[in-house]
Amino acid sequence: MKEALAFLDLHPGDRCVDGTLGDGGHSMAILEATSPNGRLLALDADGAALERARQRLQPFTDRVVLVNDNFANLATVVRTHGFAPVPGVLLDLGLSSWQLSEARRGFSFSDEAPLDMRLSASQPFTAAEVVNTYSQEELSHILFTYGEEPQARRIAQAILRRRPIATALELAQAVEGVVPRRGRRISPATRTFLALRMWVNSDLENLQAALQGAIGVLKRGGRLVVIAYHSLEDAKVKRFMRQEARDCICPPEQVPCVCGHKATVKVLTRKVVMPSAEEVARNPRVRSARLRACAAL
């Protein structure tokens, strides 16, 4: 959080957008940094998470606008509520601790919970539908591509043998049946659950739309700060910022330039920013966090 606030570089009275409200921790810090009259627009696709955060942010009610929407629609929401242009946008791509621990969602592989994994009930399909209806080839592709799981084929075969799979615990057991824990602290099912969650929620596609939308609503000099917890998400953020910082995005062999692209940002993080050892000690869940930032031109 310390690094995120430093790169946002907010001042009293500033407006800011938190595209991933979660538990509201970052939002509260932003409101404190912009007091006494700064305003915040915060989005979350998870309506239950938004209501929890609403209670936490109760002391700032007159300075906060909370919207139950996916951050893929960030630009539209920001303009609809008259916030554009803004000095800062924050995207924290991880799930909140509450979402991970809430049994009914099926995010945690230690629960006898329905295999859902949707952030919003309006989404078209659940993880259970994927696990129980997709072919071995489709499952293997999802696990390898989105979870970077080297045992994707073996796990997909195990899933087909165990179907129907109704709960998160059953899925975890299917994975551990072919990829044993063998004393490892992190469950072998971690990558499988991550891949399914990303697929069900269209995480990479929505992230691309959110990044483009965020750049479009920043004022000149405004900052975009993104915290990713997965290598695919971090790579997408890195590529996006680097591309938007270039005047030409034509292939190297294309001379002269025909793309007409103009740089829209300046990258502020030459190297990815990682959490300090002290922060990881306080909260082990941030160990995989990767922060990148840019400023609008």
Q: Quickly tell me which residue has 């979402």 as its tokens.
A: 99
The CA-based dihedral angle spanning residues 107, 140, 163, 129, taken in that order and rounded to the nearest 10 degrees? 60
What is the full DSSP assignment across 190-241?
A: HHHHHHHHHHHTTHHHHHHHHHHHHHHHEEEEEEEEEEESSHHHHHHHHHHH
pLDDT of residue 113: 81
pLDDT along the chain (297 residues), means of 10: 95 96 92 96 91 92 95 97 97 72 58 83 90 98 95 97 93 91 78 93 95 97 96 96 89 75 94 91 87 97
How far is residue 24's CA from residue 32's CA, in Å, rounded to a whole number?
A: 12
How many CA atoms are closer than 13 Å to the CA of 88, on its beta-carbon side?
28
Give residue 140's pLDDT. Answer: 98
Domain boundaries, the chain: 2-98+203-296, 124-200
2-98+203-296 under CATH 3.40.50.150, yes or no: yes
pLDDT value for 224 = 98
Cis omega (within 30 of 0) for bond into 87: no
Query: How do 86-92 and 265-267 pair as beta strands?
Result: unpaired
State residue 256's pLDDT score.
79
pTM reported for the whole predicted model: 0.90
What pLDDT shows up at residue 102?
Answer: 57
Tell me, what's the pLDDT at 261?
82
**For residue 94, what pLDDT is reported?**
75
Q: What fold characterizes domain 124-200?
A: DNA polymerase; domain 1 (1.10.150)
Output the pLDDT for position 96.
Answer: 62
As a whole number of angstroms, the distance between CA 22 and CA 45 comes to 9
Helix (H, G, I), strand (E, B) or coil at 70: coil
The burial class, CB within 10 Å (0-12 / 13-18 / 19+), for 44 is: buried
How far apart are alpha carbons 77 and 69 in whole angstroms?
8
Question: What is the predicted pLDDT for the residue at 8?
Answer: 97
pLDDT reported for residue 98:
55
Report DSSP letters for 2-39, one per residue. HHHHHHHT--TT-EEEES--TTSHHHHHHHHHTTTT-E
**173: three-class secondary structure by DSSP:** helix
